[in-house]
Structure 1
Amino acid sequence: MRSQRRPVAALCSVAFLASCGAKEIPREDWGAITPDAELRVTTVSGAEHEMTRVTAFTDRLEGAVEVREGALVDSVTIRIPLDSIDFVETRSGNAAWPVLTALAATATTIMIINARGKSDVEPPPTAVGSCPFIYSFDGNEYRLDSETFAGAITRGLARTDLDNLEQLRAVDGLYRMRLANERPETQHTDELTLRVVDHPAGTTVLPDRDGEPRVLVDATGPRAATGLRGADVLAQVMAQDDVFWQGDPVFTIDETDPSSFRDGVELIFPRPASDRGLLSVRAQNTTLAPFVLERFLELFGEDLTEWYRRVDRDPALQSELKEWIRREGMLHVSVWVGDGWVRQAALPDVGPHLPKSQVAELDLAGVEGDVVRVRLEVPRGLWSFDHIGLGTESTASPVVTEVRAMEAFDGEGRDVAPRLMETDGSHVTALPGHTVDLVFQAPPDPPAGNERTVLARTHGFYHIWVEQSGTAQLDQVERILREPGYVNRYMLELFRGTIQ
């Protein structure tokens, strides 16, 4: 219960200012303040409040302050309207967790979802960061069905994702889903809508790397599949059976051979009749992928929040990072044309907790003969493959219906559906343990001779909770970003424990 004493907030202590110095938080980032922050809030009237256990809402900051009455010291909760705040400062070098775990678009368009009874959730030390989870109701229970916008680790790298919902079933004409944060990170979801695709029976709908549904027909498995170091892996990638091929173990890397840091598979398919092929790949990342990403972020030390700000505001830096992610982390697809491999596509990360199917469009016009040779290449130890097939795109036009949530209630009982209807910067922000339950109206059944596939379209980003302490190791960061292949060597050193 809140104290009935008049809350006269204690002035900022000398320790707060002197221990590490104070840094002002820009107004546009107030909405991203998390409970681990220690703040000094100065109002337009000049009053100063030293606050802990702070939660940011759309209209206020709410947190604890110490009050003194004689020899008694008490802690009370105060609420300060955003429009009455002049500036906010935080102690720099916050040691355990980030002061800001996300940089919001604006303080007035962000909503922090409160946990059920607790908002300062501390993640288990063994948890692996990744991205938001989407659960689908199958008529009996909610089942994990999607892991979305993997790799979008700050606002400047936010991306759109499209993912098949294999478990979702309409019950009484409604689709029910749950958006959940179960990782040690802060997640910002700007859009969660459905694409309901009615397509000819016998065809398959899968997303491409640009977040568009494609209709695959006449797909066949490979005739042969060989790992880059000679292993026969056809049995592992021939069918969608959750039997994965992960490549050669990381600990067998030969540091003297640069090619040893890469892995992949070469496949032979019967040539389709069309000069445009659609390659379907069902794969997932290993848990080593987010581990390496977390270690990379820790290299920024206490400057990580400032680095996030620079990425979010600098288009050139965003382009550089996206190119680095494409070069070092994505799944690269090449086709043998003439006398060499021609790279044709790169598929983005999908996360370590669920396999995901994607398609890549291939230009087969220059391929000679009755077979197509395809090569998939990835960083060693970061990907595993379930099924790979090659077909063409259906000439029949599918019927695609966009469906927005009728309602989307968070753990506090608030309907946040308007914030998830489109990509407009009005993020729903979740700390670990937070959920949103969504309900969608299912369209009428597809006409005879057609099947239905439902996909979730999302847009957003997240910040992984990593330790922010110490001096930034910028030389190491620069080498990772600039030197092709060095991140693979860095990963190996981490794996072997030769660096801290």
Structure 2
Amino acid sequence: MSSGGYVIIILGVIVGIALIAGIAILSSSCPFIYSMNGSKYIFDAEPYGGSVSEGLKKTDYSRLEHLEAVGGKYKLLMQNETDETQYTDEMKLLVVEHPANTEAAPDISGKMSVFEKAIPPLSVTDENGKDITLFFNKRDIVQWQTDMQDKALYETKRLKHELIFKFPKPKDAKKVKLLVNAGTAQWGEYMLKEMLDIRGNKVDTWYDDINKKGIEMLKLYQFVEREELFILKANILENGRWINRGSISAGGPYIDEDRIIEVEYRKCHRRYSLH
């Protein structure tokens, strides 16, 4: 017995958002994808966030939760509802056949993993040791994100939040697949536009260098990796040291996506900690 899951594959790029008047105020995002559920179109996907120039274009995968066949056909509606220019090179529908009572999710490259049950963390704490496990027990609309109104954030030497997950370790396992449902908050969207806006009338020169994969591309990737923007590092605690074993990509800000991250852990015992 099998069940079909629908994933939309989109290759595209968003450009021009730095050229809009009032950029820090207007809300811009990614193309919105609507699925026909048999009676109406429902907002179902928001691909390739952060691809603000041709040099940064990427292929993205979005699970379609609401897509249903109508007269033997699947109907999708793509709309640009924001103040930006969007380019989409191709869009494909991928049907993933998997056993009943299981789910499928892609990794960052699109490779699918099928799983029956995801084991929740034993505990989740922040950098201050505060227990925030409630936010991570299951996939739902309850999400954890930074409280930007908290003045204590600006009165500390720590410039990043830390989330420490503790999981039971499967016996004799050397690798584990993490199922992550996460996305970039609207703060990330605002930050992206601000970063482009401060380039002023030289933003087109910056775009050109990015598209040519020049020095600005290298500087951008180094900045994104260092500050963990759009991609978070997954570190495993081994012999008292945090070792980077993978990374977590983000979608959003309006629709979060499931992603699989395969992580090695070599020197953990009965449980392992993810940072």
TM bin, normalised by shorter chain, reads 0.7 to 0.9
User: Deviations 1:371-416 (Å, cap 9, x if unpaired)?
Assistant: 12111xxxxxxxxxxxxxxxxxxxxxxxxxxxxxxxxxxxxxxxxx
1:356 is displaced (CA, Å) by: 1.5
For 2:155 and 2:131, how far apart are their aligned partners in 1? 25
Identify if the C-alpha distance between structure 1 residues 33 and 323 changes in structure 2 by more than 3 Å, giving closer, same or farther: closer
2:170 alignment partner AA:
P
Question: Is the contact between residue 275 and residue 363 of structure 1 (CA under 8 Å) also seen in structure 2?
Answer: yes
Distance 2:89 2:31 in 1: 12
Contact 1:248/1:263 (8 A) holds in 2: no
- Alignment match, 2:170: 272
Structure 2 letter corresponding to 1:271 = K
Distance 1:236 1:247 in 2: 13
Could you say which structure has the larger radius of gyration?
Answer: 1
Structure 1 residue 363, shift from structure 2 partner: 0.6
Matches within 5 A, 1:48-67: none
Distance 1:226 1:316, change over 3 A: same
Task: Determine the structure 2 residue equivalent to 1:342.
Answer: 243
Instruction: Give the drift of 1:136.
Output: 0.8
| Pair 1:142–1:326, CA change in 2 (3 A) | farther
Give the corresponding residue for 2:273: 373
- Structure 1 unpaired stretches of 5+: 1-31, 35-95, 102-121, 376-500
How many angstroms does 1:164 deviate by? 1.0
Residues of 2 paired with 1:356 and 1:286: CA distance? Answer: 13
Residue 139 of structure 2 corresponds to residue 231 of structure 1? no
Q: 2:72 aligns with which of 165, 169, 173?
A: 173
Deviations 1:278-336 (A, max 9, x none): 11111222111111111111111111112111211134432332232233202221111
Which position in structure 1 is the counterpart of 2:37? 138
Measured in 1, the distance between the counterparts of 2:28 and 2:110 equals 23
Sequence identity (%): 27
Shift of 1:247: 3.7
> In structure 2, do the counterparts of structure 1 residues 143 and 314 end up closer, same or farther at CA, with 3 Å as the change threshold?
same
CA distance in 1, matches of 2:168, 2:143: 23
Give the AA of the match of 1:341: W
Q: Which runs of 5+ in 2 are unaligned?
A: 1-13
1:116 alignment partner in structure 2:
none
Q: CA RMSD in A?
A: 2.6
Amino acid in the other structure paired with 1:368? C
Deviation at 1:350, TM superposition (A): 0.7
Q: Secondary structure of 1:343's partner?
A: strand
Q: Equivalent residues in 2 for 1:4-19 (5 A)? A: none
- DSSP 3-state at the match of 1:178: strand
Alpha carbons 1:226, 1:234 under 8 Å: kept = yes
1:25-174 matches, within 5 Å, as: 98=19, 126-174=25-73
TM-score, length of structure 2 as denominator length: 0.85
Query: What aligned pairs does 1:52-451 form with structure 2 within 5 A after superposition?
Result: 98=19, 126-249=25-148, 251-255=150-154, 257-259=156-158, 261-273=159-171, 274-328=173-227, 329=229, 330-364=231-265, 366-375=266-275
Q: CA deviation at 1:202?
A: 3.1
Deviations 1:31-86 (CA, angstroms, capped at 9, x unpaired): x999xxxxxxxxxxxxxxxxxxxxxxxxxxxxxxxxxxxxxxxxxxxxxxxxxxxx
Label 1:297 to 1:247 Cα distance change in 2 as closer, same or farther (>3 A): closer
The 8 Å contact of residues 15 and 84 in structure 2, kept in 1 or not, is answered as no
SS of 1:303's partner is helix
Separation in 1 of the partners of 2:207 and 2:125? 41
Contact 2:182–2:250 (CA under 8 A) maintained in structure 1 = no
Q: Is the 8 Å Cα contact of residues 222 and 269 (structure 1) preserved in structure 2?
A: yes
**Matched residue count:** 259
Deviation at 1:248, TM superposition (A): 4.3
Flag the structure with more relative contact order, 1 or 2, with Cα contacts below 8 A and sequence separation at least 6.
1
Contact 2:18 2:193 in 1 (8 A): no
Whole-angstrom distance in 2 between the partners of 1:315 and 1:203: 44
Q: Counterpart amino acid of 1:198?
A: E
**Aligned partners of 1:138, 1:178: CA distance in 2, in Å?**
12
Paired AA for residue 184 in structure 2: N
